Structure 1
Amino acid sequence: MPVIQAKNLGLHYGEQKLFEHANFEINAGDFYAILGENGTGKTSLIRAILGQNHQYSGGLQVASEKVGYVPQFRSISRDYPLSVREFAALGFNHGWRWWLKGSEKAAIQQALEELDLADLANHRLGLSSGGQKQRAFVAQALAQQPDLLILDESTASLDFQHSDEMLRRVKELSLARKMTVLWITHDTSHLKDYANHYLWLHNQKVEAGLIDALPAQAASHAIEGEVHHV
């Protein structure tokens, strides 16, 4: 069974029609790049997949048991008090208990090791580099041991080296865990190094395919620095 299956899916934002008649299947272990100009519905689609947006018609089935979500890089000031390990543990904020189970501690340690952050585990996150901070966001998501990982323009504020480093790690983990990845991006410079499929949102429709068949027009329509999300 596909992890995500859309059948004749239509999505709208208030009175605005974003797309319609979308049909695609995303399988376990697929690495999808999600492309499209501002306002085409990338974020709305992700919210629908997460169950946070019900403004759609047609069918949308999500078979994922656990989703990890990594947002666009957010500024963390130098005086931010939590360590890298404590930040990665925030995903286990249960509300009703403040301690971590042994299995949760082990999952956090594994995520830190996978992202090359184990040596910085007790280092204050605010004093870490931009690349290290963003990898800490990924570690926080991976500690939940998701079978679906969503990167919501998570590389937008990183330079090429740090972006490449983070995506290489995610790709390795995707292959090792058979973890499905959805990567919303405007950066088409190294799509084919990581993604094996694409979803291209344009002209109120969604086009899906193998990354090697990505139309040149899709890459040329990529816009750096999205101002608003729809």
Structure 2
Amino acid sequence: MIRLTTSDLDIAYEDRLIVQNLNIAIPQGKITALVGANGSGKSTILKTMARIMNPAKGNVLLDGKSIHKQSTKEVAKQLAILPQNPTAPDGLTVSELVSYGRFPYQKGFGSMKKEDREIVKWAVEATGMGDFADRPVDHLSGGQRQRAWIAMALAQETDILFLDEPTTFLDMAHQLEVLHLLKKLNEANNRTIVMVVHDLNHAARYAHHMIAIKSGVVKGEGTPLEVITPEIMREVFNIEADIVPDPRTGLPLCLPFALAAQPLADRVMGNDGNEQDRREEWTAAGA
């Protein structure tokens, strides 16, 4: 099932065209990862799909209707976005931050109802932040802060969640903490998650669907096995890479070894000296 699509989408910063004629579909109830080199346009696409930016041409369609022609509150009941490196006012507690997610359901300056408070409590618990509910956000670790912001997005009760590089500046343990949480939310609540991911191997492990972008153009789309290929790595990231199966999951792992501009004769091959044979052996193993 597809609810969210783009139709002939152009995105520009002033007179500079960043994305041209973009047509993509986001699978419902799946995790989709947007990947690409720095400056490829992936964050710009995410912001436009989440209605933070307006397109120069074309539409972002949710259930067949342009989200840019719907009211802000109506859209906020259907999708939530966690931007890159969000900041909270000093002294704001986790529960207070999460309560901001109920704004689309309040009228004027009305206070939260019992139902709102119950949803805030649920979002705090669902993200494992129950023990930190009354702690100021600026007193938390990086991973804890990210979970608090995700809890706020959950409190919006949307079916679709956008995240712009949710693991940026986090150490490896906190990166896994956040990605495991997103996987859990997807599986337990059937939430559609769309995220910009910097780490290709994280994208391959946690996403069901991947979209590889270069200069605002889609160069690869499909499952991790279909997108994490030597050819797409060469075209999108300008690298030569061995693609091997993850020994735990069978999903593709990208192991870069040279810039794409490097002469083929200078490639460092495996002991068998045959890169193609290794790919065929991996494919035959059912990875």
* TMscore range, shorter length: 0.7 to 0.9
CA distance in 1, matches of 2:160, 2:92: 27
Residue 216 of structure 1: aligned partner: 233
Larger Rg: 2
Q: CA 1:73 to 1:12, structure 2 compared with 1: closer, same or farther past 3 Å?
A: closer
Q: CA 1:8 to 1:219, structure 2 compared with 1: closer, same or farther past 3 Å?
A: closer
Q: State the AA in 1 paired with 2:30.
A: D
1:45-124 aligned within 5 A: 45-63=45-63, 66-74=78-86, 80-93=90-103, 94=106, 96-97=108-109, 99-124=111-136
Offset at 1:6? Answer: 2.4
CA distance in 1, matches of 2:237, 2:172: 19
TM-score by length of 2: 0.68
Corresponding position: 1:172 with 2:184 = yes
Offset at 1:168? Answer: 0.8
Residue 175 of structure 2: aligned partner: 163
Q: Which moved more, 1:56-65 or 1:185-194?
A: 56-65
Q: State the AA in 1 paired with 2:7.
A: K
After TM superposition, what 4+ stretches of structure 1 lie above 6 angstroms from structure 2? none
Corresponding position: 1:183 with 2:200 = no
CA distance in 2, matches of 1:85, 1:3: 31
Q: CA 1:74 to 1:6, structure 2 compared with 1: closer, same or farther past 3 Å?
A: closer
CA distance in 1, matches of 2:238, 2:196: 14
Aligned with 1:137 (options 149, 155, 175) = 149
Offset at 1:38? Answer: 3.0
CA distance in 1, matches of 2:88, 2:19: 35
Q: Is the 8 A contact 2:33 2:210 kept in 1?
A: yes
Q: Is the 8 A contact 1:200 1:218 kept in 2?
A: no
Q: State the AA in 1 paired with 2:97.
A: F
Q: Which moved more, 1:50-59 or 1:191-200?
A: 50-59
Deviations 1:34-60 (A, max 9, x none): 112233222322232123433333443
Offset at 1:92? Answer: 2.8
Q: Which runs of 5+ in 1 are unaligned?
A: 223-230
Q: State the AA in 2 paired with 1:87.
A: L
Q: State the AA in 2 paired with 1:155.
A: T
Aligned with 1:153 (options 165, 171, 179) = 165
Q: Secondary structure at the match of 2:183?
A: helix
Q: Secondary structure at the match of 1:212?
A: helix
- Structure with the greater relative contact order (CA < 8 A, sep ≥ 6): 1 or 2? 1
Q: Is the 8 A contact 1:156 1:187 kept in 2?
A: no
| Paired residue total | 220
Could you tell me the percent identity over the aligned residues?
Answer: 27
Residue 228 of structure 1: aligned partner: none
Q: CA 1:118 to 1:195, structure 2 compared with 1: closer, same or farther past 3 Å?
A: same
Q: Secondary structure at the match of 1:139?
A: helix
Q: Is the 8 A contact 1:196 1:212 kept in 2?
A: no
CA distance in 1, matches of 2:27, 2:85: 27
TM-score by length of 1: 0.84
Q: Secondary structure at the match of 2:194?
A: strand
Q: CA 1:108 to 1:205, structure 2 compared with 1: closer, same or farther past 3 Å?
A: same
Residue 263 of structure 2: aligned partner: none
Q: Is the 8 A contact 2:20 2:217 kept in 1?
A: yes
Q: Is the 8 A contact 2:28 2:192 kept in 1?
A: yes
CA distance in 2, matches of 1:58, 1:83: 40
Q: Secondary structure at the match of 1:6?
A: strand
